[in-house]
């Protein structure tokens, strides 16, 4: 991929980015209580005494959340730590009734790993994972319902989170975008997080610094909290990096601070400076013992791992002959990949991929449908491609058949029979049409014979038209040439 360099009249700069992503764990109940995690329920409907921070309540670790974290660690190609600990991170905020967050600090459940990202030019890059720990989410403060009051909804308080911290390996906004898309895809394959950034179940903190191009120094970084879409993350990096360059080139210095990205302006503004940074006073959580896992447990989770997007992509390229691009597009979403596998079984996989990425996606888009709601089933899409491969219909007629399939949900075979769209491959039938057109257009025949050979196309067009598009185009071409050249 081409390098991302910020170039000004004064010099060249490169950008250094690291990400921290909070991912809500898919689990029916919260990480330290039995309350429901359902999104969108009435405010404060799903709050246990533990979540409300009542004195004397004791947290109990949710076994399923641990399972999900280990599975995610394996999906990140990361080391699973058999020993991990919980700590208290102390701070005061209205949506954190206990006054501290239970998290993992010194000993996280998952250690170093890596994710391979797919860049737009078809190249790849490995991004290092520093660690992943599990912790509880805070509640939500709602400030925009009343001019004089703030409201607190504790439904989210205590929902399990996985916090993934990357190494500062990103050198371009595009790389961070590709990483988030890949991470989301992996989490969805694993079914450990739904990855919905707009609902807040995946939230990204972005750390940005710049340095003179080619140098090795690490300059002061700024952090943007809770950026909630892939597009905004890329925008935040671009604009924050430009701000740093401007400050440095004007003789200033960047101060370490937490900033907020404003989606309406695309700019970042200061939230809090370092001198007001929290001192969290971490200490080991006295109400929870260390978390100790054994090999058999980790092995049992390995056994239930599904094929992940990278492995699937490689298989589609090597075994089904797809291009890297088509395989990437199809494998990003597991439902699409499953649909494709079903559709291509026994048929020309490359052609099925073309139809899927082309006409099929366009149809879903136009009708605002998800793949699950598709009126065209995987089997029917495969069968349509088969009809083209077997020359039962032409590619052009297939487009019309597909249109009807997406309206009625009928099988292509049924539509072809009912509408009489079967391609004419009977030589004598086509020959009769060609003869008729030649007989009726002596002027064009004469012109052709005098050297206007591109008139052959006109004869082909007339024949196709008269056959209502059903004549086999290759046979028409052949016959027209034969007869005109006679």
- Smallest distance, Å, CB 103 to Mn ion? 6
Please identify the residue of the shown chain whose CB is closest to the bound Mn ion.
163
Give CA–CA dist 51/160, Å, rounded: 12
Do 152 and 93 meet the contact criterion of CB atoms below 8 Å apart?
A: no
- Smallest distance, Å, CB 273 to Mn ion? 20
Residue range at the interface with Mn ion (CB under 5 A); choices 107-115, 122-130, 158-166, 399-407: 158-166
CA 26-54-287 angle, 5° bins = 70
Residue range at the interface with Mn ion (CB under 5 A); choices 48-56, 160-168, 216-224, 433-441: 160-168
Give CA–CA dist 149/144, Å, rounded: 9
Q: Which two tokens stand for residue 131?
A: 């660690």
Give CA–CA dist 238/301, Å, rounded: 39
Residue among 272 and 422 whose Cβ is closer to Mn ion: 272
Size of interface with Mn ion, in residues (CB under 5 A):
1
- Smallest distance, Å, CB 58 to Mn ion? 22
Residue range at the interface with Mn ion (CB under 5 A); choices 76-84, 156-164, 409-417, 452-460: 156-164
Residues from 44 through 73 that contact Mn ion (CB under 5 A): none
Residues from 342 through 371 that contact Mn ion (CB under 5 A): none
Q: Does residue 238 bind Mn ion (CB under 5 A)?
A: no
- Smallest distance, Å, CB 161 to Mn ion? 7
Residue range at the interface with Mn ion (CB under 5 A); choices 157-165, 201-209, 249-257, 472-480: 157-165
- Smallest distance, Å, CB 163 to Mn ion? 4
Residue among 134 and 421 whose Cβ is closer to Mn ion: 134
Give CA–CA dist 438/444, Å, rounded: 8
- Smallest distance, Å, CB 20 to Mn ion? 7
Contact pattern for Mn ion over residues 95 through 124, marking x by CB under 5 A:
------------------------------
* 3-state percent breakdown (helix, strand, coil) of the chain, nearest 5: 40, 20, 40
Give CA–CA dist 461/89, Å, rounded: 76
Residue range at the interface with Mn ion (CB under 5 A); choices 26-34, 116-124, 161-169, 330-338: 161-169
Q: Which two tokens stand for residue 156?
A: 């989210």
How many Å is the Cα radius of gyration of the chain? 30
Q: Which two tokens stand for residue 54?
A: 């009542």
Which position has the token pair 């990855």? 195
191 — phi, psi (to 5°)? 60, 40
Residue among 28 and 278 whose Cβ is closer to Mn ion: 278
Residue among 153 and 163 whose Cβ is closer to Mn ion: 163
Q: Does residue 163 bind Mn ion (CB under 5 A)?
A: yes
Give CA–CA dist 137/161, Å, rounded: 6
Residue among 89 and 347 whose Cβ is closer to Mn ion: 89
Residue among 51 and 163 whose Cβ is closer to Mn ion: 163
Residue among 160 and 382 whose Cβ is closer to Mn ion: 160
Residue among 224 and 393 whose Cβ is closer to Mn ion: 224
Residue among 105 and 355 whose Cβ is closer to Mn ion: 105
- Smallest distance, Å, CB 89 to Mn ion? 8
- Smallest distance, Å, CB 393 to Mn ion? 57
DSSP 8-state secondary structure symbol assigned to residue 34? -
Do 25 and 69 meet the contact criterion of CB atoms below 8 Å apart?
A: yes
Residues sharing a CB contact under 8 Å with residue 239, sequence separation 6 or more, in sequence order: 266, 267, 268
Q: Which helix (H) or strand (E) holds 126?
A: strand 124-136
CA 254-208-194 angle, 5° bins = 150
Do 17 and 206 meet the contact criterion of CB atoms below 8 Å apart?
A: yes
Q: Does residue 130 bind Mn ion (CB under 5 A)?
A: no
Q: Which two tokens stand for residue 213?
A: 């191009």
- Smallest distance, Å, CB 233 to Mn ion? 17
What are the helix (H) ranges across 345-377? 349-355, 361-367
Give CA–CA dist 123/103, Å, rounded: 37
Do 441 and 484 meet the contact criterion of CB atoms below 8 Å apart?
A: no
- Smallest distance, Å, CB 135 to Mn ion? 5
Residue among 205 and 332 whose Cβ is closer to Mn ion: 205
- Smallest distance, Å, CB 86 to Mn ion? 13
Residue among 273 and 278 whose Cβ is closer to Mn ion: 278
Residues that bind Mn ion (CB under 5 A): 163
């Amino acid at each position: 991929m081409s390098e991302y360099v910020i170039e000004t009249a004064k010099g060249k700069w490169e950008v250094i980015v690291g990400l921290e992503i909070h991912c809500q764990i898919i689990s029916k109940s919260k990480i330290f209580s039995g309350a429901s995690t359902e999104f969108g329920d009435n405010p404060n409907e799903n709050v246990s005494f533990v979540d409300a921070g009542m004195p004397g309540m004791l947290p109990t670790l949710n076994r399923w959340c641990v399972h999900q974290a280990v599975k995610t660690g394996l999906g990140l190609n990361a080391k699973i730590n058999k020993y991990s600990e919980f700590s208290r991170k102390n701070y005061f905020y209205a949506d954190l009734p206990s006054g501290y967050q239970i998290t993992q600090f010194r000993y996280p459940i998952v250690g170093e790993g890596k994710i391979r990202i797919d860049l737009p030019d078809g190249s790849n890059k490995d991004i290092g994972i520093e660690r992943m720990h599990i912790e509880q989410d805070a509640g939500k403060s709602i400030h925009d319902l009343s001019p004089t009051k703030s409201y607190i909804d504790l439904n989210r308080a205590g929902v399990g989170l996985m916090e993934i911290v990357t190494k500062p390996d990103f050198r371009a906004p595009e790389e961070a975008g590709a990483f988030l898309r890949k991470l989301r895809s992996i989490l969805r394959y694993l079914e450990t997080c739904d990855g919905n950034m707009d609902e807040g179940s995946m939230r990204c903190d972005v750390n940005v610094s710049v340095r003179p191009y080619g140098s090795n120094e690490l300059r002061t970084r700024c952090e943007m909290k809770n950026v909630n879409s892939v597009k905004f993350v890329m925008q935040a990096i671009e604009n924050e990096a430009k701000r740093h360059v401007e400050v440095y080139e004007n003789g200033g210095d960047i101060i370490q601070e937490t900033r907020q990205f404003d989606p309406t302006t695309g700019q970042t503004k200061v939230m809090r400076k370092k001198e007001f940074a929290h001192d969290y006073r971490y200490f080991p959580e006295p109400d929870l013992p260390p978390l100790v896992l054994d090999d058999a447990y980790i092995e049992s989770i390995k056994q239930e791992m599904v094929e992940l997007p990278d492995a699937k992509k490689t298989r589609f390229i090597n075994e089904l002959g797809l291009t890297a691009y088509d395989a990437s597009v199809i494998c990003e979403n597991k439902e699409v990949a499953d649909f494709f596998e079903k559709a291509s079984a026994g048929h020309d996989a490359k052609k099925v991929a073309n139809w899927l990425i082309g006409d099929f996606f366009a149809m879903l888009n136009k009708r605002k449908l998800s793949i699950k709601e598709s009126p065209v089933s995987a089997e029917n899409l495969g069968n349509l491609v088969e009809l083209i491969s077997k020359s039962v219909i032409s590619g052009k007629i297939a487009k019309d058949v597909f249109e009807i399939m997406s309206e009625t949900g009928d099988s292509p075979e049924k539509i072809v029979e009912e509408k009489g769209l079967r391609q004419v491959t009977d030589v004598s039938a086509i020959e009769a049409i060609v003869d008729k057109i030649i007989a009726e257009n002596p002027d064009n025949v004469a012109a052709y014979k005098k050297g206007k050979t591109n008139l052959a196309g006109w004869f082909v067009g007339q024949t196709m038209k008269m056959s209502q598009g059903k004549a086999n185009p290759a046979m028409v071409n052949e016959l027209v040439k034969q007869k005109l050249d006679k």
